[in-house]
Homo-oligomer: A and B are copies of this chain.
């Protein structure tokens, strides 16, 4: 555990800032998540983490990634009929999802970001998230 002690300065600091207890599992999971620009699933992160921590449980990966998203360290992309995907990109952006291969492509859309919400949501609702979702076929799947 000396290795862990020495490294993971950045991860350690992020957890501390979020008030999350610092555990070996969390440090490694956080580092793995930040290494994946491709919206990884729990399964992908679990596989990667097992290389450094063979006994880590799938439940821990789930719990940890969900607590990261609650803490604002990442976001969750629910659905697509498939497994939940996690997104380490912290800046505002949107997603195109390929209906054939499931690939997720990030894009920006400032015009949309600047749109006012419909007035229905002015009262009573709390809108926590606002995003554009495109779907269709990616260039690879378009033959």
Contact = CB atoms under 8 A, between A and B. Distances in A.
Interface of A: 76, 78-81, 84, 96, 99, 105, 107-109, 111-112, 115-118, 120-121, 123-139, 142
A13 to B, nearest CB: 29
Nearest to A109: B118
* Copies of this chain held together in the complex: 2
A135 B105 CA distance: 21
Contact of A125 (B108, B128, B131, B139): B139
Contact of A134 (B127, B136, B137): B127
A129 B135 contact: yes
Contacts of A120: 105, 107
Contacts of A125: 96, 136-139, 142
Contact of A132 (B79, B80, B131): B131
List the 4 closest pairs (A to B, CB-CB), nearest first. A79-B79, A124-B139, A128-B136, A78-B81
Contacts of A121: 96, 107, 134
B134 A132 contact: no
Contact of A142 (B80, B108, B124): B124
Given A112-B112, A133-B133, A81 B84 contact: yes
